[in-house]
Amino acid sequence: MAVTYTLDGAHIQILEDFWRVMGEAVNGPEGYFGSGLNSFADCLRGGFGTPEGNAFTVEWQGHDASRQHLGYPETVRQLELRLERCDPSNRMHLLVDLAAARDGRGPTVFDWLVDIFEDEAPGVLRLV
C-alpha cells in the first residue's frame, strides 16, 4: 500500500521551511529529509523514511502559495547565500543565475524542488 505524505504550503515561505515541513511530513516532528538540494535528491531515492521503490506520494497542498513564496525573491536570496560559500570556479555561473533571477527570469526555488521530485522520484509529487 502506498503512503501519502502531506505538505501544507501555508507553512512554506522560504526554502528552509520546505526542509522542515518535508522532514516532519516523512519522519515526524523535527524529522530530517534533506537540508539542501543534493541531500533532498538523495533522500528521494529512498532509505530515509520513505518506502522503497517510490511506493509513496507527496501531496503538496496549497502549492500555489508556496510557488509564490519560493519565487524570484527567494531564489535571489538562495543564490546570494550560495555565492557566499561557492567554489571560485562556480562563481561566474552563479552570478549569471543571480542576474537572471533578479530580472525575474529562469527557474525559481519552487522549480528546483519540483524538478528534483521529477528527476529522482517521477510521479511521486502531486500538486493540489
DSSP SS3 for 106: coil
Instruction: Tell me the CB-side half-sphere exposure of residue 23, using CA atoms within 13 A.
Output: 16
pTM exceeding the 0.85 threshold for the entire prediction? yes
Report the top-level CATH class of 1-71+108-128: alpha beta
Give, as one character, the DSSP assignment of residue 87: -
Residue 1 — very low, low, confident or very high, per pLDDT cuts 50/70/90? low
Ordered by start, the domain boundaries in the chain are 1-71+108-128, 72-107
pLDDT digits (tens, 9 = 90+) for 24-39: 999 999 999 999 999 9
67-110 tens-digit pLDDT = 999 999 999 999 999 999 999 999 999 999 999 999 999 999 99
